[in-house]
């Protein structure tokens, strides 16, 4: 029964076709019986369209193309052309069925994401035994056993010392990723190494795949500007056709001297061929296909209007840490003026409260040193920490932040310049008005960043780095990557203002970021991309989410441009077919069946043209 409901439209179309086939041989010998077959074909094949059209008319107060098709078929029947009316209904029903199948094909790309995570998982009990449970029953804190070749059931943390995973279904990159103990695991990725144990760290509804599916399902309801315009035009267009047809019939009879029967028949053809079915299908299938294709390439786009805008990008603004670089800096040089043990303990105590990548690097460096009982601590956004220990003020952060209390660091300027010239980020520590240490950290550039910048330049798009890092560090990374423009020493609260300046300079601008401090700028940009490994607030603020591979940005721009080209092709083709069929009707060189074939055939071709985006490279 469920299968019949799911395939009702297909069954109606097939039944309509069979009834026409049965009626055709009866035309010469049993005309009345043939007419009954055609009327039944008409009623069965046209039921869904009539229902949709009438609901649209009386519930939504909207005139749709379904109304035009039903009126044309009824009109043909009234003057005795039941075969033509039945053929019109069959081809229109077939067109709608093919359109539904085409839409389903683009949506299946998203549905496939939901099937990547297994239905069951092997849970490790407290006594060490392993039981198989449904994935939906897993809770935070559960320990799981994942064998080689199996999919990770849910997002979590690696408990084993080492593991290797295929994350291509998320990142689009067919490379095995090495993981060590405490590294994050993504549900749906494949365990390519030996059997591992993992810890569940999120609820089922909060996994990365769940978020991706929710975002894309939401995106499928957000239409492009072109699709919205065409759909808004439909109601007025249908009204125009409904006024045009009786005017055409009267004109043909009284001015051209046609008989009422001939004029009415030609009016029904006009009602059919002037219907904007192909025009309406010009945009939506293309944008849905583009969104689906992007999702399979590790890029979640939140709506048709957004992918429409991506083709207009003139400049891409990127944060440095975590976007262009790995976001996992490590301490590579140190210099102590004060007592090393005390300085490291102060740093560890301060940085434990922060989730910033630099804080994590400093915590990794300070290792197992015990934290101190401090009097007071405060994090100054974009600058560093201030804390009080044994009546003394300590500061940890950028040079500019330290120089607010330290007179100068002239004696270290040469060494500082050398380290910054190597692309290293320096974190300074002061006690009262004395500099007591600095740490030099290096954050490796992502291998995809250079390729992404190169591809953007090939598209004629400017690149800008917007970062809170020191200018020398920022310039080093920019030079390595070939970035056009650099804005350094930018505080989080200043990013929106700086972005406005960049927009004024370049025009239509995209912003890429991964952190909470990027969220306001992401919301301000014309188009925004969040890194999927970043924070939830960044993902919510952005128009799209990329799974940690910046080459998806130039891909999205090329995809958008291709989509726009296809939509333009579809619109020109649809309007051309409508115009040619109307002229052919006026010249009386096309009959109703041929008019229906030409009209609905153009609709099918337009849909198929849009579906080409599913295989866009």
Scanning the structure block, which residue is given the tokens 């709608």?
Answer: 96
Half-sphere exposure in the Cβ direction for 331 (13 Å, CA): 19
CA gap 390, 395 in Å, rounded = 14
Give me the catalytic one of 155, 319, 443, 518: 319
Indicate if 319 belongs to the active site. yes
Output the CA–CA distances (angstroms, integers) from residue 376 to 93, 353, 391, 399, 562, in the order listed.
73, 12, 10, 22, 57
CA gap 193, 475 in Å, rounded = 40
CA gap 308, 323 in Å, rounded = 24
End-to-end CA distance of the chain: 40
Strands 143-146 and 196-200: antiparallel
The residue among 372, 331, 317 whose CA lies nearest residue 348 is 372
Residues 6+ apart with CB under 8 A from 591: 84, 269
The residue among 613, 610, 525 whose CA lies nearest residue 570 is 610
DSSP string over 488-502: -S--GGGHHHHHHHH
The residue among 587, 369, 323 whose CA lies nearest residue 466 is 323
Residues 6+ apart with CB under 8 A from 332: 424, 440, 441, 442
CA gap 241, 248 in Å, rounded = 10
Strands 299-301 and 184-185: unpaired
Strand-pairing partners, residue 466, are 487
Q: Are the CB atoms for 443 and 357 separated by under 8 Å?
A: yes
CA gap 123, 142 in Å, rounded = 7
The residue among 370, 497, 361, 353 whose CA lies nearest residue 426 is 361
CA gap 74, 79 in Å, rounded = 9
CA gap 124, 130 in Å, rounded = 5
User: What's the angle, vertex CA 544, arms to CA 542 and CA 546, rounded to 5?
Assistant: 115
CA gap 2, 19 in Å, rounded = 25
Dihedral of CA atoms 232, 235, 239, 241 in degrees, nearest 10, equals 80
Classify residue 279 by burial, with Cβ atoms within 10 Å: 0-12, 13-18, 19+.
buried
CA gap 227, 566 in Å, rounded = 13
Scanning the structure block, which residue is given the tokens 């109601």?
Answer: 235
Token representation of residue 177: 């990723």
The residue among 608, 602, 609, 605 whose CA lies nearest residue 580 is 602
Scanning the structure block, which residue is given the tokens 């999927």?
Answer: 532
CA gap 515, 522 in Å, rounded = 10
Scanning the structure block, which residue is given the tokens 């008989």?
Answer: 259
Just list the catalytic residues.
319
């Amino acid at each position: 029964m469920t299968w019949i409901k799911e395939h009702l439209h297909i069954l109606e179309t097939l039944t309509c076709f069979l009834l026409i086939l049965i009626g055709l041989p009866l035309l010469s010998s049993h005309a009345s019986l043939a007419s009954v077959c055609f009327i039944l074909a008409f009623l069965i094949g046209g039921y869904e369209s009539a229902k949709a059209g009438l609901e649209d008319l009386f519930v939504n107060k909207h005139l749709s193309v379904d109304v035009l098709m039903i009126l044309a078929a009824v009109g043909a029947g009234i003057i005795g052309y039941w075969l033509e009316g039945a053929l019109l209904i069959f081809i229109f029903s077939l067109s709608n069925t093919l359109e539904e199948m085409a839409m389903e094909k683009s949506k299946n790309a998203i549905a496939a994401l939901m099937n990547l995570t297994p239905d069951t998982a092997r849970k490790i009990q407290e006594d060490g035994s392993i039981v198989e449970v449904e994935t939906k029953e897993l809770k935070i804190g559960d320990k799981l056993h994942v064998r080689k070749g199996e999919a990770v059931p849910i997002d979590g943390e690696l408990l084993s010392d080492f593991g290797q995973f295929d994350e291509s279904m998320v990142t689009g990159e067919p490379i095995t990723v090495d993981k060590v103990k405490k590294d994050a695991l993504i549900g749906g990725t494949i365990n390519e190494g030996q059997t591992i144990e993992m810890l569940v760290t999120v609820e089922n509804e909060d996994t990365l795949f769940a978020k991706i599916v929710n975002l894309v399902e939401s995106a499928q309801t957000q239409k492009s500007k072109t699709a919205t315009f065409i759909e808004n035009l439909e109601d007025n267009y249908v009204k125009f056709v409904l006024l045009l047809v009786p005017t055409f019939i009267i004109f043909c009879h009284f001015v051209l001297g046609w008989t009422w029967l001939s004029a009415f028949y030609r009016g029904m053809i006009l009602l059919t061929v002037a219907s904007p079915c192909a025009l309406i299908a010009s945009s939506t299938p293309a944008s849905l296909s583009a969104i689906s294709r992007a999702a399979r390439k590790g890029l979640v786009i939140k709506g048709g209007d957004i992918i429409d805008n991506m083709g207009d990008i003139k400049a891409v603004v990127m944060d440095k840490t975590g976007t262009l670089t790995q976001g996992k800096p490590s301490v590579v040089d140190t210099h102590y003026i004060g007592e090393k043990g005390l300085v490291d303990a102060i740093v560890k105590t301060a940085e434990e409260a922060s989730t910033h990548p630099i804080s994590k690097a400093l915590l990794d460096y300070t290792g197992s040193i015990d934290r101190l009982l401090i009097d007071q601590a405060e994090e100054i956004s974009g600058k560093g920490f201030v804390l009080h220990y044994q009546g003394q003020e300590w500061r940890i952060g950028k040079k500019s932040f330290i120089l607010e209390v330290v007179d100068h660091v002239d004696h270290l300027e040469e060494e500082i310049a050398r380290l910054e010239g190597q692309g290293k980020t320096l974190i300074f520590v002061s006690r009262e008005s004395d500099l007591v240490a600095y740490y030099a950290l290096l954050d490796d550039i992502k291998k995809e960043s250079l390729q992404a910048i190169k591809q953007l330049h090939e598209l004629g798009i400017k690149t800008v780095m917007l970062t809170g890092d020191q200018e020398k560090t920022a310039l080093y990374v920019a030079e390595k990557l070939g970035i056009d423009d650099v804005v350094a020493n930018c505080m989080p609260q200043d990013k929106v203002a700086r972005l406005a300046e960049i927009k004024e300079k370049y025009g239509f601008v995209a912003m890429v970021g991964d952190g909470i401090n990027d969220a306001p700028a992401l919301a301000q940009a014309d188009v925004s991309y969040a890194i999927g490994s970043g924070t939830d607030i960044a993902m919510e603020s952005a128009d799209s989410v990329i799974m940690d591979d910046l080459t998806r940005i130039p891909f999205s721009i090329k995809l958008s441009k291709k989509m726009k080209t296809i939509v333009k092709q579809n619109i020109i083709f649809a309007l051309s077919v409508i115009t040619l069929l109307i002229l052919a009707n006026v010249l009386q060189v096309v009959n109703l069946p041929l008019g229906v074939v030409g009209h609905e055939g153009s609709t099918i071709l337009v849909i198929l043209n849009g579906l080409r985006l599913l295989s866009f490279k």
